[in-house]
Amino acid sequence: MTAIRRLLLVTSAAALILGGGMLAAVLIERENIHPATAANSAAGASLGGPFTLIRSDGKTVTDQTYRGKLLLVYFGYTYCPDVCPTTLNNVAQALIQLGPEAKAVAPLFITVDPKRDTPQVIGSYVKAFDRRIVGLTGSEAQIAAVAKEYRVYYQPTPAQGGDYLVDHSSLVYLMDRNGKFLKVFSGGLSGIEMVDTIKPFIASAS
């Protein structure tokens, strides 16, 4: 972590604590979540919203496509070296643990790297974790719009060999059947722990 980023995290955490945002400070410190995302997530500040994206089969979908299901929404990219595979494994384990109740949940993986993550690429990627996970991509403008709705931080950074990585926040958003924000999980939360939170919301609508 650079000195500048460390200063940013400390300063943001202090401001959030003074403003009553203790949860946001914990997210920043323990989960390495970007301060702006942590602040909004802790406050439950109008996270989520309308989107138009492209599914791995090439079909255009919107937020309305998934009405009637709980959503697990995660932003990442297929070239992600560590946190994305870990998180998607956790989501896949949650689906397994839910058993038949998993049909009430739509897990969405939205890329923050639309330049490389074509529908075919993202489709093949998510199938390696669980075929029920839906890979979504789109134009740079479409991705920027949905990331803004979810207050997601992402920023391409240069890597060796002229390639690049994408620095991004790592949160799983639980949305209700009408697309409204319910809960936010750290990407490192286990599938079993996710299920403990998801199940009551499945039961409440049954």
In DSSP notation, 3-56 reads HHHHHHHHHHHHHHHHTT-HHHHHHHHHH---HHHHHHHHHT-S-----EEEET
Q: CA-CA distance, 149 to 127, in Å (whole number)?
A: 26
Same domain as 105, residue 69: yes
Same domain as 10, residue 97: no
User: For 33-92, what is each residue's pLDDT tens digit?
Assistant: 444 445 445 555 579 999 999 999 999 999 999 999 999 999 999 999 999 999 999 999
Number of domains in the chain: 2
Same domain as 139, residue 106: yes
What range defines the domain where residue 79 resides?
A: 52-203
Same domain as 63, residue 162: yes
Question: Of 27-36, 125-134, 193-202, which range is least confident?
Answer: 27-36
Same domain as 171, residue 131: yes
Same domain as 17, residue 56: no
**Which of 76, 77, 78, 47 shows the shortest CA–CA distance to 63?**
47
Q: What is the CATH number of the domain that holds 178?
A: 3.40.30.10
Same domain as 189, residue 152: yes
Same domain as 64, residue 28: no
Same domain as 39, residue 57: no
Record the pTM: 0.81
Same domain as 86, residue 23: no
Same domain as 187, residue 111: yes
Q: How far is CA 90 from CA 3, 115, 169, in A?
A: 31, 26, 16
Same domain as 179, residue 113: yes
pLDDT of residue 204: 80
Proportion of the chain in helix, strand, coil states, percent, rounded to 5: 45, 20, 30
